[in-house]
Amino acid sequence: MPKLNIIDTHAHLEGEEFAGDFEAMLARAVEAGVSRIITAGTNVESSEKAVALAQKYPQIFAAVGIHPQEIHNAQKADIQKIAELVKNPKVVALGEMGLDFHRSAVYRDEQIKGLKRQLEMASELRLPVIIHNRQSTKEMIEILSEWVNKTQTKTPGVIHCFQENADNAGVFLEMGFYLAFGGYIGYPKSLMAEVIKIVPKTRLLTETDAPYLPPQKFRGQRNEPAYIVYTVERMAEVLGKTKEEVANFTTENACRLFKFQ
Ligand SMILES: [Zn+2]
Ligand SMILES: [Zn+2]
- The whole-number average pLDDT for the span 116-125 is 96
Distance 68 CA to ligand 1 centre (A): 9
9 CA distance to ligand 2 centroid (A)? 10
Closest CA to 55 of 85, 93, 20, 15: 85
The model's confidence at residue 22, banded by pLDDT at 50, 70 and 90, is very high
The pLDDT of residue 76: 85
Domain count, the chain: 1
Asked if residue 89 is part of any domain, the answer here is yes
Instruction: Point out the ligand nearest to the CA of residue 40.
Output: 2
Rounded percentage of the chain residues whose pLDDT exceeds 70: 98
In a domain, 118, yes or no: yes
Measured in Å, residue 226 CA sits from the centre of ligand 1 at: 19
Q: What integer pLDDT is reported at residue 83 of this predicted model?
A: 95
Per-residue pLDDT, 103: 73
| Residue 211 identity | P
> CA-CA distance, 13 to 34, in Å (whole number)?
14
At 106, the pLDDT band (50, 70, 90 cuts) reads confident
What CATH number does the domain containing 25 carry? 3.20.20.140
Residues 179-205, mean pLDDT to the nearest whole number: 98
Q: With the C-alpha atoms ordered 236, 238, 239, 240, is the resulting torsion angle positive or negative?
A: positive
CA–centroid distance, residue 228 to ligand 1 (Å): 16
pLDDT digits (tens, 9 = 90+) for 32-80: 999 999 999 999 999 999 999 999 999 999 999 999 999 988 988 999 9
* Residues in the 5 Å CB sphere of ion ligand 2: 209
Q: How far is the CA of 1 from the centre of ligand 1 (A)?
A: 34
The chain-wide mean pLDDT, for the chain, equals 96
In a domain, 213, yes or no: yes
pLDDT, residue 1, reads 58
> What pLDDT shows up at residue 261?
77
Strand partners, 34: 6
Give yes or no for a contact between 20 and 43, defined as CB atoms under 8 angstroms apart. no
- The answer on pLDDT for 207 being more than 90 is yes
Distance 160 CA to ligand 1 centre (A): 6
Q: Which ligand is nearest to the CA of 131?
A: 1
Q: Which ligand is nearest to the CA of 210?
A: 2
Residue 1 lies in a domain: no
DSSP per-residue letters across the chain: -PPP-EEEEEE--SSGGGTTTHHHHHHHHHHHTEEEEEEE-SSHHHHHHHHHHHHH-TTEEEEE---TTTGGG--HHHHHHHHHHTTSTTEEEEEEEEEETTT-GGGHHHHHHHHHHHHHHHHHHT--EEEEEES-HHHHHHHHHHHHHHH--S--EEE-S----HHHHHHHHHTT-EEEE-GGGGSTT--HHHHHHHS-GGGEEE---TTSS--GGGTTS---GGGHHHHHHHHHHHHT--HHHHHHHHHHHHHHHHT--
> Does a structural domain hold residue 40?
yes
> How many angstroms separate the alpha carbon of residue 182 from the centre of ligand 2?
11
- Distance from Cα 162 to the centre of ligand 1, integer Å: 9
Per-residue confidence (pLDDT) for residue 2, from 0 to 100: 66
Is the residue at 11 inside a domain? yes
Is the pLDDT higher at 106 or at 93? 93
Cα–ligand 1 centroid distance for 183 (angstroms): 13
Tell me, yes or no, whether 91 lies in a domain.
yes
Supply the pLDDT for residue 86.
Answer: 97
Q: Which residues, other chains included, contact 90 with Cβ-Cβ below 8 Å and sequence gap of 6+?
A: 51, 54, 55, 60, 61, 62
In a domain, 15, yes or no: yes
For 69, the domain range is: 6-258
